[in-house]
Amino acid sequence: MRFETIGEAMQSGETMVFGHRGASASAPMNTLAAFQLAYDQGADGIELDTRLSKDGRLFVLHDFTVDATTDGHGCAADMTLSQLKRLDAGSWFSSEFAGEGIPTLDEIFDSFGDALLINVEIKSTRNSIGRMEKALADCIRRHNLRERVIVSSFDPVILKRLSGMMPMVMMGFLYQPETPAEYCLALKSMQCEARHPRHDMVDAGYMNWSRAQGYHVNVWTVNDSRRACALKQLGVNSIITDDPARIVAALAEC
């Protein structure tokens, strides 16, 4: 374990590597197998997506539906955790991962909370507003991971609500070129220490601006070695990648 806390890592001056949904280039995204592989490949942390089930449990899945990455069909938020747990979330990727399930956030925290830093992206629906933030705050407290987790979202309102519940937890605003300007303006009224831009938005001018504002910069999603080295030289705090092994090796050489 290289860093004890997110804050220590962000202040270290090093460029960290986070596995995007785990080592998702080599294992089914957002599964225990993918997160374990990211750890094995030398990642400093993992990035994951969390949602709220019909019965109020936090589980890890990117899409609104289960169709693309499991053998099931339908809206994930309309299913109970028991229904979600019966799905195969590995076979779509490879027969090697047949039977790999959808993990809960508790399972991820239990398995990797002491070994990896964790970037939790909130995936929320209208029906889960408020309940999602409370469930996540309770889960982070239960595992005592306030200083090892960073919470990210494309929605500044969600970040503002969660920041009010957990001021010790670092917040990261996700955005891309088409993000509405008013979303960025909304952040001025809240504590949000990190910016998570799409990597092609970042150049020397962007980094000068972010440093002047006191923001940490964590970029997504970078799978090219040369681009990773360029971002390291610009001074980004972390690189989120589908291929931790490739980017860890690249950063060691540049």
Active site residues: 20, 62
Helix (H) or strand (E) holding 17: strand 16-20
Separation between Cα atoms, residue 70 and residue 98, nearest integer Å: 10
Read off the DSSP letter of residue 75: B
The single-letter code of the amino acid at 80 is T
CB 87 within 8 A of CB 66: yes
Question: CA-CA distances (angstroms) from residue 48 to 7, 34, 108, 230?
Answer: 19, 10, 9, 25
CB count in 10 Å sphere of residue 167 = 10
- The answer to whether 245 touches 42, Cβ cutoff 8 Å, is yes
Nearest to 93 by CA among 21, 28, 24, 31: 28
